[in-house]
Structure 1
């Protein structure tokens, strides 16, 4: 057995044990059932729950919020995101980032989607007054995806999400982005981890070359901006580049555009 095979097996060990009791289950279902309860109960995590290893959970998302806004403003000819824009967040979790968008936007103009109902409910409890005022559309993909698509968002963003998508669920992830960005002119802004080759660096961590993401996002067009690079991240034994990639629907979408795309 090679060193790489051993690492892969170790990464999958808990998932494989879970599958014995949940045959046919997905990695996202495993994460929601195995890890999320620990996070809700106060277990420390880098980006989920209230006990963040990276700082106060209600303020730590402002930096990511500002990063997305800066990229949008640059791509929009220097015009900032208006309050009447419609925005959808993929992987909204406990609204660490989404709450800042909700506060900025007009009532009813934000939708947030996540795999975990528990994380969403925790966020709804924490921001109950804001949500009562702003009437955001929140739910799991099964509950709220159709409503989010119907809102025809101007901006769809995913921060610290693409790096946690299991290869078996990539097709679904990118298909959802395509469907949400069905309106001509809509933009997708996503934070990703970039490496010269596709690598797995932990149980729920993947990084790919930049062109890999660009290929998955077609027919949306990759749009250049000056704020792509965020920082280098050390995930032993790899050094990964945290980047913000942006895409735009430049032509009216067709039915074929919205069908799930097979991985190449």
Structure 2
């Protein structure tokens, strides 16, 4: 399942569920109990994956993309949709704190992916051929992404538009989150009593628009930071 180029960067325990492929509205238990769920980073391809194996069976094999969203649907349960795997994965945790750690790591990975894509876009735009350095050839660039995010942005004429876009995205995020939530509590070893419905129809299209807007906003913010860095240099 994992090759020698992939390195684990985070591991937790959770009960794994798959959405019912027939109804798209109920959960099917994919693991018999809580199993290890790990984030892996492939330095040779700059890819992140979530992998979980029970015995010889892979219950999760999901490549993370910049437009994926992990949705918390109850205090101990969350889900994300993987178009490539053609399924929706659900995770039931023993505590809300453990779920919070997984959500934090999922967001860090997304930001690292978005930073990589932004760097590639800026490189193609200015034609400088300079790539953003990382700590090492085999290390995940998550720490570099954190350092860039911690740098306080300077005021610029483009800032008001970014704030307006961010407010619009936040409003759409609240709307999508309200549509997706509604599931009961999930406990390890037992399927949720009232599983959340997988997004379909208008809500799925709304979520896609929201993710596209978030990606555009992230790219715009990174590009503005890059221009400021060039000007200050």
**Higher-Rg member (1/2):** 2
Fold match (TM-score > 0.5): no
Taking structure 1 as the reference length, the TM-score comes to: 0.26
| Bigger relative CO (Cα 8 Å, ≥ 6 apart) | 2
